[in-house]
Amino acid sequence: MDFDNARQRLCGCYVTVPTLFHDDAELSLNLEGIRQHVDFLLDGGLKSGNAVFLAGGAAGDFSTMTFEQVVQTYGRRFSVIDNQMHFVASHMLGARGFEVHVCNYWPEWGAQLIDQLNRKDYPQVQAMLTRAAQPFVKLWSEIEQEYTSGDGYLDKLCMELVGLPSSRCRPPTRDVRARYREEARRMLLQVGVPRVRTTA
């Protein structure tokens, strides 16, 4: 393996791509919805050099999937990247990859974030994180404390609210859509996310 080449390619926004399911009794895989979401991310400006997509991670309901489902959905490419939300300090110390849930519903923001990091415009990066990422993390934390735990459920709800294919997470994570839809919609509108649907 060419580790230098891999290091050059594994940089930018680290986007955990949620695994989508059909709302049927089995919560069967929605492969077409996943393809549409990945196309949305690419069309939004995320690409090699400013983003890395992780499929099959925690937001991908990885722990609830069979081995066959993982292979069917994600093939043979896996990646492990740490996430800490200390992007400025990490970048200053040489980090080149960052987990960014916001990209799942606002890829343009992620592309701009990496551009600002590469320009070393750290005050702008911190402002972007404060404005868009921290409200997401705050709502996520509230849901964790009040209702359910897991990963990916808020990403999926936000994707739904911008008109993307989406689904609930598999149990034991509880379905957050009805209970937190309006709060998530208000959060997205407040931070300026484009394409937010104003009605259900």
User: Structure pTM?
Assistant: 0.72
- Omega before 172 cis (within 30°)? yes
Please state, as a whole number, how many other Cβ atoms lie within 10 Å of the Cβ of residue 134.
Answer: 13
The H or E element containing residue 154 is helix 153-161
Choice between 35 and 91, residue whose per-residue pLDDT is larger = 35
The span from the CA of 200 to the CA of 188, in Å, is 14
Report all structural domains of the chain as residue ranges with CATH numbers, in order of start.
3-191 (3.20.20.70)
Predicted confidence (pLDDT) per residue in 5-47, tens digit: 777 777 888 888 888 889 999 888 888 898 899 899 999 999 8
CB 180 within 8 A of CB 143: yes
The tokens 């929605």 sit on which residue?
Answer: 30
The answer on pLDDT for 74 being more than 60 is no
The span from the CA of 31 to the CA of 37, in Å, is 10
